[in-house]
Structure 1
Amino acid sequence: MEQIILVMYHHPRFLLRKPEIMKKFVDKVDKMGMDRSSRMFIHGIRIFSSMSYKTWELKFRTFGELGFSEDDIAAAFRYTPTVFGVSEEKLKEVKEVLLATGKYNLSCIINYPTSLMYSVEKRYKPRLQVLEMLESKNMIQSWPKIKTLCPMPNKRFYEKFIEPYLDEDGDVCTEKSALSGKRTVKVKN
């Protein structure tokens, strides 16, 4: 009931579907192997309901082109079905940016598909620039795992990767709003 209430609040049109159509979506989610008691089950149904069969096939093909196997795609759907609502262009762009660092590989992305949902411009580029700079100056030993880097709030990223080095090197700077977590961290060149 809690999940239905959340969907009613955030996506009310979803619940206006005819019962026979809704049953087809439930069957599709069942075929993907998602447990009906999972908190993601209703989100899986909502994602299926938001796209045509042709669009679903395009998403499936895009994930295959990114390097996901059929099992990986099904696991990604069970873990975070909302990633299938991300555009094909963004999926490809995020993969390219993460792999370009040389610190993350395809298995990192496959094991944490939520990483494909974050903004390249607002989240990844600023953070990756900071990490590259810190590494080039031997200020960090290793990069955070992708599962840590992605969901970390801006304020926490600042506290962990910027604040400790402010006194040591004047190249790291932030805007005041980064302290409140409203903006990303910027690096002076």
Structure 2
Amino acid sequence: MRWHKAVGRYYDFVKDIIEADKSSNYEMSCLSLPHGTCQGNIIRNVLALRRLGVPQKLLFSLLTSNFHVVSGKERFEDSLEKIVAMGFDPANSKFVKALFSRRIHCLQSSFEAFIGLGFSGDEFVTMVKHCPQCIGLSAESVKKKIEFLVKEMNWSLKAVVSNPAVFGYNLEKRTVPRCNVIKALMTKGLLGSELPPLSPVLVVTGEAFLNKYVIKHDDDKDLVAALMAISPEIVLHRSSYTFL
């Protein structure tokens, strides 16, 4: 009888969520009711998420397909505290994904690494939203790339935040060679006095980079040869340009 009361209470709670979100099209048929003491944990945890402003549709999705992720207590509270501290927006689906990531401790480590290098919490969240691969990067790797991009190349932290994919690029095989091409062109006065934006240098494909910074100087074969030698990522052929 006690179990039936628990199920009834849980059903009423789920019904309340459905009623609160009139636009919901989810079906109750996929709902699996939890047993035992996790019942109270689920209700308490979902209520906590509702108070933070997590949309009804996201809560209902958890209850109908992933209720196990809100059935804990200590782990849930610890994860919630960390994600809130990082600045994730509760109204965004990324909040829920981050909260229940199996790599929550890895996420925390990455957060601390980026903060220690001068990024704000909001900037870290922005980068993770656009490039989840930022999670799991070692502090040493991030620091090495930041020192090169910001201190040596003089791009701003803001530019890096806008292009977080750069953290996933191989420093020795892609980033440094391309930047050396840019340095060579600037030394010769072929790019003006201002450093080009980060995106068209590092984020674009090898073909786009070659077209923009090498092929345009095709009238100077010696220069092209020198640039090709600087960046082995691209190889010059007699009739066309291809890439390794």
**Band the TM-score falls in, shorter-chain normalisation:** 0.5 to 0.7
Cα deviation code 1:120-163 (max 9, x no counterpart) = 11211110110000000011124331133222111111111011
Matched, 1:148 2:200: yes
Counterpart pick for 1:168 among 220, 224, 228: 220
- Shift of the 89–167 alpha-carbon distance from structure 1 to 2, 3 Å rule, reads same
Shift of 1:90: 1.6
SS class of match (1:68): coil
Aligned to 1:21: 69
Query: What is the correspondence of 1:1-189 to structure 2 with a 5 Å cutoff?
Result: 19-21=67-69, 31=84, 32-33=88-89, 35-36=92-93, 44=98, 48-51=101-104, 53=105, 55-141=106-192, 142-168=194-220, 170=222, 171-173=226-228, 175-176=235-236, 179-181=241-243, 183=244
Contact 2:178 2:202 survives alignment (8 Å): no
Tell me the TM-score normalised to structure 1 length. 0.68
Q: Helix, strand or coil: the match of 1:94?
A: helix
Return the alpha-carbon distance in structure 2 between the equivalents of residues 59 and 169 of structure 1: 45
Aligned-pair CA distance for 1:63: 0.6
Give the whole-Å Cα distance in 2 for the aligned partners of 1:91 and 1:111.
Answer: 15
Residue 44 and residue 150 in structure 1: after superposition, are their counterparts in 2 closer, same or farther (change >3 A)? farther
Q: TM-score, normalised by structure 2?
A: 0.54
Secondary structure, counterpart of 2:135 in structure 1: helix
**In structure 1, C-alpha distance between the alignment counterparts of 2:99 and 2:69, rounded to whole Å:** 11
Percentage identity across aligned positions?
A: 19
Provide the C-alpha distance between the structure 2 equivalents of 1:121 and 1:133, rounded to a whole number of angstroms.
Answer: 17
Larger radius of gyration: 2
Deviations along 1:46-102, whole A, 9 cap, x unmatched? 8x3135x3x333211101111111222222222322211322222111111112334
Partner SS, residue 166 of structure 2: helix
Whether the aligned pair in 2 keeps the contact of 1:115 and 1:146 (CA below 8 Å) is no
CA distance in 2, matches of 1:29, 1:70: 12
Query: Once superposed, which parts of structure 1, at least 4 consecutive aligned residues long, lie more than 3 Å away?
Result: 21-24, 26-31, 40-46, 100-103
Checking the alignment, whether the CA contact within 8 Å between 2:149 and 2:155 is kept in structure 1 is yes
Q: Secondary structure at the match of 2:140?
A: helix
C-alpha distance in structure 2 between counterparts of 1:42 and 1:172, whole Å: 47
**Relative to structure 1, is the Cα distance of residues 99 and 30 closer, same or farther in structure 2, using a 3 angstrom cutoff?**
closer
- RMSD value over aligned CA atoms? 3.3
Letter in 1 for 2:160: I
Query: For 1:156 and 1:42, how far apart are their aligned partners in 2?
Result: 37
Give 5+ residue unaligned stretches, structure 2.
1-65, 229-233
What count of residue pairs does the alignment treat as equivalent? 159
